[in-house]
Amino acid sequence: MAAPKEAPEWRPFGRRFLTDPTRLFQHNAWDNVEWSEEQEASARSKVQENSSQLLPQDKQEEYEVNAKRYWDDFYKIHENGFFKDRHWLFTEFPELAPNRNPSQNGDSVHEFSNKEESNNEGLGSCENGHCSLETRAENQLNLIKSTPKICAEELATQKYSELNQSDGDYPGSSASYRILEVGCGAGNTVFPILQTNNDPGLFIYCCDFSTTAVDLVQNNAEYDSSRCFAFVHDLCNDQSPFPMPDESLDVVILIFVLSAILPEKMQSIVNRLSRLLKPGGMILLRDYGRYDLAQLRFKKGQCLSDNFYVRGDGTRVYFFTQDELEDLFTTAGLEKIQNLVDRRLQVNRGKQMTMYRVWIQCKYRKPAAPQL
């Protein structure tokens, strides 16, 4: 039997509307779904219920103190194939692709490949609150185990201090376009960029709180030290060094990482990252939005504070509004290029379940230096 023809699509102002609702079940996803008042009220009610009982303060402090261990354990457990590479990066963030076009820095087309989605295992499924379509992914290439690094961050501190003492001598110092991904996980943002963008002037830095994650990146067959530098970094520690000087980066990438940080520390982190940007440089963010499926699935006793939760594996997650992110970035002196909500309906045909995902995508730019 011949495959059914697809209905035409209408894409005004960068949004996709499907003219044939049967395609929802063919492709498992429906983009930019508008919520009814009843839906939003129901979501709000679930959040009020699951946040009515907060964890005791001593338990909250324990999760903060042991945050690194929980993320190390996460990457040890999920080393093989729990997530997928982010091949949607270049549609949503053309700044990362070769032949960059500044005119594309505003609204994106919100066009995730249906084929890619259908190939992701466990569409819309969550394990311990980690949802397979949007969190850090494990690159599917062969990973080689390495000997654990001892005191990695202390060694890095000394190493970066020595580098910065030299005049302009730091990893990537000769590059013409520098990207930093914060919270790189096992490299499933970094490697698609390296594979796709052959710009000879490109250099990518990537860091993670987890030593295990950084080991996975450094020992991946695709890791190229002439184009990439992976390092352990604690965003919450103001004394934890970066290997590059201030005002040296063109792009900072934050994909599902800011949400893992204690809310009261977010502003100082964004401030510090903004200082690394060149005038005209940008921060690109994609993260959890308020009332996402993952938030609604939490049970009583997993809430740390308003919209901030701990998963069963000890890692934590916050669910943002657009206004909260606007405040964080503009307070850091950045100007808005994009701040939008991506609401999506996903259907698990096997379980006959519908699932509503809510993500926020932002682009904020450091103002260009005034011309004298």
pLDDT in tens, 22-72: 333 334 556 667 777 888 898 899 999 999 988 888 787 787 777 777 677
Q: What is the structure's pLDDT at 362?
A: 97
Query: What are the backbone angles phi and psi of residue 104, rounded to the nearest 5°?
Result: -95, 10
Q: What is the pLDDT of residues 155-167, one digit of tens each?
A: 444 455 444 544 5
- Say if residues 68 and 316 touch (Cβ distance below 8 Å): no
Give the residue, 17 or 225, on which the prediction is more confident.
Answer: 225
Asked if pLDDT for residue 103 goes beyond 80, the answer is no
Can you tell me the mean pLDDT for 77-85? 56
> Model's pTM, two decimal places?
0.76
Three-state secondary structure call for residue 116 = helix
Report how far Cα 192 is from the mean position of its chain's Cα atoms.
14
Give the residue, 344 or 137, on which the prediction is more confident.
Answer: 344
- Residues 195, 300: Cα–Cα separation, whole Å: 43
Q: Give the confidence band of 84 by pLDDT, cuts at 50, 70, 90.
A: low
Three-state secondary structure call for residue 17 = strand
Report how far Cα 132 is from the mean position of its chain's Cα atoms.
13
Asked if pLDDT for residue 212 goes beyond 60, the answer is yes
Nearest Cα neighbor of 282 from 343, 345, 339, 349 is 339
Asked if pLDDT for residue 231 goes beyond 90, the answer is yes
Q: What is the structure's pLDDT at 155?
A: 47
Q: What is the pLDDT of residues 176-206, one digit of tens each?
A: 999 999 999 888 899 999 998 889 999 999 9
Q: What is the structure's pLDDT at 72?
A: 74
Domain-wise residue ranges, the chain: 21-96+170-366
Q: What is the pLDDT of residues 258-307, one digit of tens each?
A: 999 999 999 999 999 999 999 999 999 999 999 999 999 999 989 999 99
Asked if pLDDT for residue 227 goes beyond 80, the answer is yes
Q: What is the pLDDT of residues 114-150, one digit of tens each?
A: 333 333 333 344 444 455 433 333 332 222 233 333 3
Q: What is the structure's pLDDT at 202?
A: 96
21-96+170-366 under CATH 3.90.1150.10, yes or no: no
Q: What is the structure's pLDDT at 144?
A: 26
Q: What is the structure's pLDDT at 19?
A: 33
Looking at the chain, the whole-number percentage of residues with pLDDT higher than 70 is: 67
Q: Tokens 């609604």 sit at which residue?
A: 296
Q: What is the structure's pLDDT at 314?
A: 84
- Residues 370, 372: Cα–Cα separation, whole Å: 6
Average pLDDT, the chain: 75
Alpha-helical (H) ranges within 211-320 are 211-218, 266-276, 293-296
Q: Give the confidence band of 80 by pLDDT, cuts at 50, 70, 90.
A: very low
Q: What is the structure's pLDDT at 102?
A: 47
Alpha-carbon distances of 74 from 80, 104, 243, rounded to whole Å? 11, 36, 26
Q: What is the structure's pLDDT at 30?
A: 60
Region of residue 99 (phi > 0: left; psi between -120 and 50: alpha; otherwise: beta): left
Lowest mean pLDDT among 98-102, 133-137, 215-219: 133-137
Q: What is the structure's pLDDT at 243?
A: 95
